[in-house]
A and B are shown apart, each in its own frame.
Chain A
């Protein structure tokens, strides 16, 4: 059967396994590596991870669905996570989130129909000094305004 993960990622999972006394400890790092390659955790990707770590697929699925950063369905190429927790809420995160969703025509938790952007509500991103804050993929943007959101969207291909 064809593998969902490349030899490179499978090799990386083998390396990760060596960092721990028990191979299941490598599960979260392995799922990160798999998702980085495929874009989400397809059943094939999770099966490959299960095989590489000697775990049942049910265990891998159970763990993958517990953590909010793992996706078991295809999602947008870009992931925007908007913090709406207290300090951001007090500093205007709701208008920012509303503006973002209106611009993209989607609701929080949804991906644009062209598959470009996923918008999610994030819990406290530990950057309350820059409130309101969002993460666009790996980049943090703070002191957001609707205008800053427009500018950011213009830069995401």
Chain B
């Protein structure tokens, strides 16, 4: 297997200490960037690498940087989204806890490339361990001159502040994140005009990137765009659910779902079969065992009406009751809806009420069309991606697993044997 880039040192204890990071070549890419390269040249390299943002939307990182206006005398910000919360996604937390300097080094390079002097890491409030490790790493970075004033004697300044969230999934949406960073409720902003690159923090141009995206940057500088691409390019899949070896799997992008699930995540329990898969977190449309040869990449998954999203692969074996799984995801979005727009605020409540009724054995056959109709009415009408995340998996489940809904309505009971306590590893 090819050498790992982002996850190579994750198992090493004490990795948040800067000496451990420096001992494996850490901060060499940033040093080269600040002392030998021009900011524009770094932007070109990142664009040539083909790196696409790892927060879920997959926007090309280099192009995003180019879209950020660099006007003389105007303040720009760098904001790193470490508010990971898409169900099934745990790659950012794993990187933050396991190799935080990699993210800080990526930030230093990104700040230099975009000539930014003030950066914020918006860290999910529940990441207590991640906060400790990141704080320790940042303290070391300041002490050794990789953050703060006159970095490496180059005259380049960068202040980095870790800003803890306080429990709100919506703040992972970039404009809601900025509202939260400005000390307000996490309500999303309207796009346009509030594209962060143009009108971000305090209405100023803001480079807003995901935490994993930052971790890719030092490797692009170190290997060059082509050398980096030779690794796949690499991507972190978070694999969980009914697999025997869940975890973060660093693999070339486009690895087929079947290889990820069976070769890298141990497959499902003995005697079980894969029934369904979320390929990109619970916001992505559910797929079935028929789709497992699909490459886990942006376009192939989009062709199936699903998406790569945050590349969180949640596997369900034949003990999973799909209507119950869908109810759990709908309840999540209902609870996390900020309430700003009606389709999301009301739609999620209606959907969960109907799913409750079906699962309690009092559903009606026309409820299936009702679910689909509400989901269709939410599609394209919600203010932000949170509400838009609900219809894909629900509608896919009505297509692929309609018989399970019908069984609940007709018999008032579930036809699936419940999963054993202890789950996949029992």
12 pairs from A and B in contact (CB 8 Å cutoff): A19-B161, A25-B181, A25-B183, A63-B184, A66-B185, A69-B125, A85-B332, A87-B88, A123-B336, A126-B90, A143-B425, A145-B422
Question: How many Å from the CB of A10 to the closest CB on chain B?
Answer: 17
| Contact for A125 among B92, B126, B238, B247, CB less than 8 A | B126
For the A-B complex, the count of residue pairs with Cβ-Cβ distances under 8 Å equals 160
A24 proximal to B (CB < 8 A): yes
Q: Are A127 and B422 in contact (CB under 8 A)?
A: no
Q: Does B246 contact A (CB under 8 A)?
A: yes
Shortest Cβ gap from B264 to chain A (Å): 12
Please state if B167 and A129 are interface contacts (CB–CB under 8 Å).
no
Whether the pair B86, A124 counts as a contact (CB closer than 8 A) is yes
A91 contacts B422, C-beta separation under 8 Å: yes
* Shortest distance from the beta carbon of A109 to any chain B beta carbon, whole Å: 12
CA distance A137 to B128 in the complex (A): 9
A128 close to chain B: CB less than 8 A: yes
Per the 8 Å Cβ criterion, residues 271-327 of B in contact with A are: 278, 282, 312, 314, 316, 320, 325
Q: Does B127 contact A (CB under 8 A)?
A: yes
Check A86 for interface membership: any CB of B closer than 8 A.
Answer: yes
Closest CB pairs A-B (n = 3) = A91-B423, A128-B240, A27-B183
Tell me if A126 and B93 are in contact (CB < 8 A): yes
Contacts A28-B183, A84-B328, A135-B128 given; indicate if A126 touches B419 (C-beta within 8 A): no
Cα–Cα distance between A125 and B89 once the two chains are bound (Å): 9
Q: Is B386 an interface residue (CB 8 A)?
A: no
Counting CB contacts under 8 A, is A31 at the interface?
A: yes
A125-139 contacts to B (CB < 8 Å) = 125-129, 131-132, 135, 137-139
Residues on B with beta carbons closer than 8 Å to the beta carbon of A27 = 183-184
Instruction: Give the CA-CA distance A21 to B164 in the complex, in Å.
Output: 17
Q: Which residues of A contact B (CB under 8 A)?
A: 19-22, 24-29, 31-32, 53, 62-63, 66-70, 81, 84-87, 89-92, 95, 122-129, 131-132, 135, 137-140, 143, 145
Nearest CB in chain B: distance from A116 CB, A? 20
The answer to whether B164 and A135 have CB atoms under 8 Å apart is no
B148 near A: Cβ within 8 Å? no
Asked whether any CB of chain A lies closer than 8 Å to the CB of B182, the reply is: yes
Beyond A84-B328, A86-B88, is A67–B425 a contact (Cβ under 8 Å)? no
Find out whether the CB atom of A129 lies under 8 angstroms from the CB atom of B240: yes
A40 to chain B, nearest CB (A): 13
Asked whether B185 lies within 8 Å of A140 as measured between CB atoms, the reply is no
> Known contacts A86-B328, A89-B328, A128-B246; is A68 also within 8 Å of B167 by CB?
yes
In the complex the two chains form, what is the Cα distance from A91 to B319 in whole Å?
A: 11
Which residues of A are found within 8 Å of B127, using beta-carbon distances?
126
Task: Find chain B residues with CB under 8 A from A86 CB.
Answer: 87-88, 241, 278, 282, 314, 325, 328-329
A125 to B124, CA, bound (A): 10
Q: Which residues of B contact A28 (CB under 8 A)?
A: 163-166, 180, 183
**Contact size range, B:** 35 or more
Q: CA of A95 to CA of B240 in the docked complex: distance in angstroms?
A: 19
- Cα A20 to Cα B118 with chains together (Å): 9
Beta-carbon contact of B314 and A128 below 8 Å: yes
CB distance from A12 to the nearest CB of B (A): 13
Interchain CB contact (< 8 A) of A90 among B128, B241, B338: B241
Q: A86-B87, A86-B278 are in contact. Are A63 and B183 (CB under 8 A)?
A: yes
Per the 8 Å Cβ criterion, residues 156-177 of B in contact with A are: 161, 163-169
Residue of A with least CB distance to B245: A129
B328/A26 in contact, CB under 8 A: no
Distance between Cα atoms of A123 and B84 in the complex (Å): 11
Q: A87-B240, A91-B423 are in contact. Are A127 and B183 (CB under 8 A)?
A: no
B335 within 8 A of A: yes
* Cβ–Cβ contact A67 & B166, under 8 A: yes
Known A-B contacts A28-B180, A126-B90; the reply to A69 vs B423 at CB < 8 A is no
Write the nearest CB–CB distance from A79 to chain B, whole angstroms.
Answer: 11
* CB of A96 to closest CB in B, whole Å: 8
The yes or no answer to B85 lying at the interface (CB within 8 A) is yes
Task: Tell yes or no: B54 within 8 A of A by CB.
Answer: no
Contacting residues, chain B, for A84 (C-beta < 8 A): 328
Interface status of B202 (Cβ within 8 A of chain A): yes
Give the nearest-CB partner of A90 in chain B: B241
Given A91-B422, A126-B89, A126-B90; A139-B128 close (CB under 8 Å):
yes
